[in-house]
Structure 1
Amino acid sequence: MRAASYVNGVSLQPLLGDTVGSLLDRIAAAHPERPALVVRSQGVRLSYSEFHAQVEQVAAGLLALGLQRGDRVGIWSPNRAEWVVLQFAAPKAGLILVNINPAYRLHELEYALNKVSCRALVLPRRFKASHYLDLLMELAPELNVCAPGALASSRLPALREVILLDEDAAPGTRAWRELAECGNAEAVARLHALEQALGFDDPVNIQFTSGTTGSPKGATLTHHNIVNNGYFIGEAMRLTEQDRLCIPVPFYHCFGMVLGNLACVTHGACMVIPGEGFDAVSTLEAVQEERCTGLHGVPTMFIAELEHPRFKEFDLSSLRTGIMAGSPCPIEVMRRVVGEMHMSEVTIAYGMTETSPVSFQTTLDDPLERRVDSVGRIHPHLEVKLVDEGGRLIPRGTPGELCTRGYSVMLGYWEDEARTREAVDEAGWMHTGDLAVIDDDGYCTIVGRLKDMIIRGGENVYPREIEEFLYTHPKVQDVQVFGVPDARFGEQVCAWVRLREGCQATEAEIQDYCRHHLAYFKVPHYVRFVDSFPMTITGKVQKYLMRDAMAESLANPR
């Protein structure tokens, strides 16, 4: 009889008892002159002592504005030096950092800020085609006439402070430099006194993860969750203070924030940020010129780098490690990353936001095939079991739902006890909704999803959220959203739409409607107008038949 599909991460390395603030205090004291942060697009270069000083000044400045322990501070920005500083400053001041996807549009921003009652919001004036301040002004036109710190918006009732990542403030906002200037000696003294009262089980971060039942959920993580996950991720990569990790993945997601920034800081390594958003050439330049030893990315990023016409111009010989995650990696891509990018020690990781995020990771000693056909073995101090539809433990080699328990499991979804209870059972198991197989050697392979989540280029897209939004279109009678295979992104979003009687619409019209309100990766790449959906006898929609039909039509266009 085969062993049960249960694994636990036995480890001689104890869990860390740090808060985010005490971790930085300890690392900065141990490596004061080592490089901590390089942000090439901004010309920022900080040692650990300089980075620590900036974090303390901003943390004290936040308290000087009147923010109280437990208040939520949102950041709606692409990758910038200030993002990293705030990632450490907010928890040092006992505040909860709220990650807001920089691709969010009006509808999503309003929901996120109000769901967690954000008291302060940090944002740049604009980035590329996204005019963040203009969008915020649509929600809070009162900014034009109010004094900084006095915002009282009917649509954003909790928001009081708007901090602009620009040299100069706009009406109703403060500039980032003003925030730092507020962190005087008196405020720093208050900060140090407050830190004594903080515990590592305090909430420190809220990340939104879209729900299959519609509106996004705010996964609430603690110091203990993310500090330890970052530490053991770095351990799997064998990071030291000599390493320099290139991080082109976004900070608003756990990939950038935990697998990147915290993996570095827990080991005294240097965070190297190529730019505000991903660009293949900027990333390759950063690796070459900063002599990076590690590089993170989703498979589509590595493919873009390898396929770039200038790829062979760059000296990437300093690379040895990094993480590829977000979606399955084709073995040929992995071979090229190892061979042509010199990343012989690249690892694969699996997890979810609700588990801080990593539960499984390959190691440097795993053969190449295992780093492609699996997501590795269990992380230290965690448990995983696979269960059948009745919640019973199943034998190894059998697909079942992956459940995780341990230090990494979130506190819950912010002010949503019902959905928290659905996700985390009474025994503390987080039910991921992913279907997996664990083999006799303990390697885990993800084989599918109980939920209909779409993974498009590393971004999680939940059909129900898009469906509920499209129901607001005056011409839409009914809609079903699902993923279809895509060579570049893994999956693309497809919507089958039933129009109201007598109405006509085009694919572009539906896409434009979504584009104004939803993040770009949620906008349906394909829209098809149908008279009906395939259904079971009991009236349940059969999305797998739609997916098969769509894949067939794309493979064999008429």
Structure 2
Amino acid sequence: MSAAAPLVPSYASGTSDVPLLGDTIGDNFDRVAAAQPDAEALVEVPTGRRWTYGTLREDVDTVALGLLAAGLGKGDRIGIWAPNVAEWTLVQYATAKIGAILVNINPAYRTHELEFVLNQAGISVLVAATSFKTSDYAGMIEQVRPRCEALRTVILIGTPDWDEMVAAGRQGDRAELARLQAQLSPDDPINIQYTSGTTGFPKGATLSHHNILNNGYFVGRLCGYTPDDRVCIPVPFYHCFGMVMGNLGCTTNGATMVIPGPGFDPKATLTAVAQERCTSLYGVPTMFIAELNDPEFDSYGLSSLRTGIMAGSPCPVEVMKQVVDRMGMTEVTICYGMTETSPVSTQTRADDSLERRVSTVGRVHPHVEVKIVDPDTGLTLPRGEPGELCTRGYSVMLGYWDEPEKTAEAIDRARWMHTGDLGVMDGDGYVNITGRIKDMVIRGGENIYPREIEEFLYTHPDILDAQVIGVPDARYGEELCAWVTLREGAPELTAEGVREFATGKLAHYKIPRYVLVVEEFPMTVTGKVRKVEMREKSVELLDLGDAAAMRNA
């Protein structure tokens, strides 16, 4: 009797005849700008400001020299706290040219989170907007500044601070800038992005030129970008989706970056696509849902759209189909990744069948490896069996800033990044994400670790204990639900009461939508809280069965 055929392991490597880029972000940008100086590089729709690659390079160099004049140099950390404005992009490329490490600060952060990031990264210069929506950035900065010893300079965009920095840059020596740029290595750290931490505080994923330059380049290539493409970027720059897949995806391929507004607005986004004849549109599922549901959707001229990217949260199958049918994005792709991997590890291709593109997160990226392993043994599982998705390659971060122990927990000795996500790889190498080993919640593209919210809830005078879980939501993919036990004699607690307590202290997306007051939590025999059971019960108690039944990629 013949032996059974060996099972194919859940492992795939992204072979490619296109080599990795071996230069720094500044050198790559200069090369593209020199090749097409008159091509449009950046459009800020709300203000009407436009840059060609030639004028953008000139302004980037000016800002770089201005930051040098402000005392920044290679390895220094510079924070940026602003919504999507052209100055964000200028600072992104300017810091790359002088080797300063850009620290992205979430525009939704409040004082508690701002102070932590300023101190943890040792930020010496902070570039910020004066305000955005209900956030008074200038006021919050003044509030925390006395407790942030490293912070010596604050440059507010749109004020004399910014104008003075630019004026100093105009007086700078461009030959000196070129000399400093030539001393940088592609492997130098250039960006820190904070991800919510399981210990209650965010961790700073530290990324190199090589990490993010190449990831942006290959994301753009798989979307088929050329200098004729115009990419509408309503996703935030502070996140990899905006600054890597958006900005670097464009500049490495010579395409045009289009900023539809400082924050997401469906009408502004659709207007920008129509007005600027965009060929590509980015978004998390909630953004596409809002655009498709705009009452005047049919009045926008979207015939220029060809492709785009949906990522950041599980992508509902029906939404993907509408994006293809009603928006004309016949070559739309889904990307899967995480901040720690620059971010993309898998992506669907334009020539994949519609079924593949709406029900999987695609195949492994060029020059990247992925595998599905048994979480307990670490051994690679056969295709078709669920396990933890791991990824390895040029895209894996250098580590968490100043946290070697946390780095070692995430990246093993063979340099595999353990994502904490559960996935299945089929016979053709397509990956489907089925859940998460850790209890991270992804709400509208924002990664939230319940432990951080739980530790905050413990500071409420009436809360004895708190457990936070994600529950299904038709709009955001997931919403936060807090289970709390109250101190004896405490008054009744409502979701509104928790919201009032958290407003101004926590970012809005970290405030639980639902609060369930209970006598006790479901526990295992060893005393561990059973969050799976809590989730199932919450779906029942909150009547979320329809949201739970939605199909996602």
Q: Is the 8 A contact 2:40 2:256 kept in 1?
A: yes
Match of 1:73 in 2: 78
Out of 334, 343, 350, the residue aligned to residue 329 of structure 2 is 343
Q: Is the 8 A contact 1:475 1:505 kept in 2?
A: no
Following superposition, the deviation at residue 556 of structure 1 comes to: 7.8
2:392 corresponds to 1:387: no
1:73-106, CA deviations, whole angstroms, 9 ceiling, x for partnerless residues?
Answer: 0001100000011110011111000000000001
Structure-2 separation of matches of 1:2 and 1:261: 41
Structure-1 separation of matches of 2:232 and 2:73: 34
Match of 2:394 in 1: 407
Q: Is the 8 A contact 2:473 2:544 kept in 1?
A: no
Following superposition, the deviation at residue 186 of structure 1 comes to: 3.9
Match of 1:16 in 2: 21
**Residue type of the partner of 2:98?**
A
1:409 alignment partner, SS class: coil
Give every structure 1 segment of 4 or more consecutive aligned residues whose post-TM-superposition deviation is greater than 6 Å: none
1:73 alignment partner, SS class: strand
Following superposition, the deviation at residue 187 of structure 1 comes to: 3.7
Match of 1:42 in 2: 47
2:472 corresponds to 1:472: no
2:149 corresponds to 1:161: no
2:338 corresponds to 1:333: no
Following superposition, the deviation at residue 189 of structure 1 comes to: 2.7
Structure-2 separation of matches of 1:429 and 1:187: 43
1:59 alignment partner, SS class: helix
Match of 1:455 in 2: 442
1:350 alignment partner, SS class: strand
Following superposition, the deviation at residue 401 of structure 1 comes to: 0.7
The aligned runs of 1:138-177 (5 Å cut-off) are 138-140=143-145, 153=146, 155-166=147-158, 168-169=159-160, 175-177=161-163
Structure-1 separation of matches of 2:418 and 2:176: 41
2:488 corresponds to 1:501: yes
The aligned runs of 1:129-528 (5 Å cut-off) are 129-140=134-145, 153=146, 155-166=147-158, 168-169=159-160, 175-388=161-374, 389-507=376-494, 508-528=496-516
Q: Is the 8 A contact 2:66 2:170 kept in 1?
A: yes
Following superposition, the deviation at residue 471 of structure 1 comes to: 1.3
Following superposition, the deviation at residue 487 of structure 1 comes to: 1.0
Structure-2 separation of matches of 1:10 and 1:122: 40
Following superposition, the deviation at residue 185 of structure 1 comes to: 4.8
Q: Is the 8 A contact 1:113 1:156 kept in 2?
A: yes
**Residue type of the partner of 2:46?**
S
Q: Is the 8 A contact 2:334 2:362 kept in 1?
A: yes
The aligned runs of 1:50-89 (5 Å cut-off) are 50-89=55-94
Structure-2 separation of matches of 1:53 and 1:31: 14
Structure-2 separation of matches of 1:531 and 1:336: 44
Percent of residue pairs bearing the same amino acid type: 59
- Unaligned stretches of 5+ residues in structure 1: 141-152, 170-174
Following superposition, the deviation at residue 510 of structure 1 comes to: 1.5
- Unaligned stretches of 5+ residues in structure 2: 1-5, 546-553
1:281-322, CA deviations, whole angstroms, 9 ceiling, x for partnerless residues?
Answer: 101110101000000001111111111101011110000000
Q: Is the 8 A contact 1:221 1:356 kept in 2?
A: yes
**Residue type of the partner of 1:554?**
L
1:488 alignment partner, SS class: coil
Task: Give the direction of change, closer, same or farther, for the CA distance of 1:363–1:477 in structure 2 (3 Å limit).
Answer: same
1:408 alignment partner, SS class: coil
Structure-1 separation of matches of 2:397 and 2:143: 33
Match of 1:555 in 2: 543
Following superposition, the deviation at residue 331 of structure 1 comes to: 2.1
Match of 1:149 in 2: none
2:83 alignment partner, SS class: coil
Q: Is the 8 A contact 2:472 2:544 kept in 1?
A: no
**Residue type of the partner of 1:165?**
I
Structure-1 separation of matches of 2:464 and 2:453: 14
Q: Is the 8 A contact 2:321 2:358 kept in 1?
A: no
Structure-2 separation of matches of 1:187 and 1:485: 55
Structure-1 separation of matches of 2:466 and 2:492: 13
Structure-2 separation of matches of 1:291 and 1:431: 40
Out of 98, 101, 104, the residue aligned to residue 93 of structure 1 is 98
Structure-1 separation of matches of 2:448 and 2:74: 33
Structure-1 separation of matches of 2:393 and 2:400: 17
Structure-1 separation of matches of 2:281 and 2:26: 26
Q: Is the 8 A contact 1:64 1:187 kept in 2?
A: no
**Residue type of the partner of 1:520?**
H
Q: Is the 8 A contact 2:372 2:390 kept in 1?
A: yes
Task: Give the direction of change, closer, same or farther, for the CA distance of 1:556–1:125 in structure 2 (3 Å limit).
Answer: closer
Count of residues in correspondence between the two structures: 538
Structure-1 separation of matches of 2:181 and 2:321: 47
Structure-2 separation of matches of 1:464 and 1:520: 16
Following superposition, the deviation at residue 214 of structure 1 comes to: 1.6
Q: Is the 8 A contact 2:64 2:169 kept in 1?
A: yes
2:84 alignment partner, SS class: coil
1:346-371, CA deviations, whole angstroms, 9 ceiling, x for partnerless residues?
Answer: 00000000000000000000011101
1:154-200, CA deviations, whole angstroms, 9 ceiling, x for partnerless residues?
Answer: x000001100112x34xxxxx21211111145443322111111000
1:383-414, CA deviations, whole angstroms, 9 ceiling, x for partnerless residues?
Answer: 11111021111100001111111000000000
1:549 alignment partner, SS class: helix
TM-score normalised by length of structure 1: 0.95
**Residue type of the partner of 2:332?**
V
2:30 corresponds to 1:25: yes
Following superposition, the deviation at residue 60 of structure 1 comes to: 0.8
Following superposition, the deviation at residue 213 of structure 1 comes to: 2.3
Structure-2 separation of matches of 1:82 and 1:187: 21
Structure-1 separation of matches of 2:513 and 2:115: 25
Structure-2 separation of matches of 1:96 and 1:35: 27
2:203 alignment partner, SS class: strand
Q: Is the 8 A contact 2:66 2:172 kept in 1?
A: no
1:345 alignment partner, SS class: coil
